[in-house]
Amino acid sequence: EAQVTQNPRYLITVTGKKLTVTCSQNMNHEYMSWYRQDPGLGLRQIYYSMNVEVTDKGDVPEGYKVSRKEKRNFPLILESPSPNQTSLYFCASSSPLTYEQYFGPGTRLTVT
Amino acid sequence: GNSVTQMEGPVTLSEEAFLTINCTYTATGYPSLFWYVQYPGEGLQLLLKATKADDKGSNKGFEATYRKETTSFHLEKGSVQVSDSAVYFCALIDSGNNNDMRFGAGTRLTVKP
């Protein structure tokens, strides 16, 4: 089954404690991206990757890092989380042929 | 820059009512347009898409037509069901601009029996 998986689904952490949210896809897609969803703001892109070892900033990259060492994985790293990063995070992947994005189930992060 | 503006919600309808959710866009290139749907507690799923002017995307009774002259991509359904209750997102991708991807703010639809 074609899917994008994210872990963990829920996370409560404290300010400053480094965390990683994993994302993996099994569709051999070149393009992967991370979004955050906040009420009234829709989805905003954090980072995206066009292929292995190629990453670029989206609209709201501050406070986040990513890496793309393998085609299937695209982890999101928060080196020093702050309360304003409390949000719902989605990973997505797509083929450059169709641009149709497949989304993971989401990770709800709370930073206290 | 590119942007998507969609009708603010929430929208509440009775079952079998007609649905329209407005979406307009601004793009420097020739974007592909999408509607995604998010059911409670889930990620977004592609509902329909259109890749060029005058294309009509359709799926599950929903339709939207890519109107270049009015830069619009309004979502319509003739008869909504309770199971259509969800948040709907209009989106564009501009393949000529480094695959710039933009989403609207989302419109929450509630359908009452």
Q: What's the pLDDT score for residue A102?
A: 93
Q: What's the pLDDT score for residue A95?
A: 84
B9: confidence class by pLDDT, cuts 50, 70, 90: confident
Report the C-alpha dihedral over residues A89, A1, A94, A78, rounded to 10 degrees: 30
Q: What's the pLDDT score for residue A37?
A: 93
Find the radius of gyration of the CA atoms of chain A. 13
Encode pLDDT of B27-73 as tens digits: 987 899 999 999 988 899 999 999 999 999 999 999 999 999 999 99
Mean pLDDT across B61-86: 97
Mean pLDDT across B62-89: 97
Residue pair A9/A23 in contact (Cβ under 8 Å)? The answer is no
Closest chain B residue to A55, measured at CA: B98
B8: confidence class by pLDDT, cuts 50, 70, 90: confident
% of chain B beyond a pLDDT of 70: 99
Residue pair A32/A68 in contact (Cβ under 8 Å)? The answer is yes
User: Which residues from A are below 8 Å from B35, CB to CB?
Assistant: none
Return the half-sphere exposure (C-beta side, CA atoms, 13 A cut-off) of residue B96: 9
User: Which residues from B are below 8 Å from A35, CB to CB?
Assistant: 103
Question: For residue A28, what are the β-bridge partners?
Answer: none
Closest chain B residue to A31, measured at CA: B99
| d(C-alpha A48, C-alpha A23), whole Å | 12
Say whether B43 and A101 touch across the interface (CB within 8 A).
no
Residue pair A107/A9 in contact (Cβ under 8 Å)? The answer is yes
User: Which residues from A are below 8 Å from B103, CB to CB?
Assistant: 35, 42-44
Residue B99 has pLDDT above 90, yes or no: no
Closest chain A residue to B98, measured at CA: A50
Say whether B44 and A105 touch across the interface (CB within 8 A).
no
Per-residue pLDDT of chain A (112 residues; tens, 9 = 90+): 889 999 999 999 999 999 999 999 999 999 999 999 998 888 999 999 999 999 999 999 999 999 999 999 999 999 999 999 999 999 999 987 888 999 999 999 999 9
Say whether A100 and B46 touch across the interface (CB within 8 A).
yes
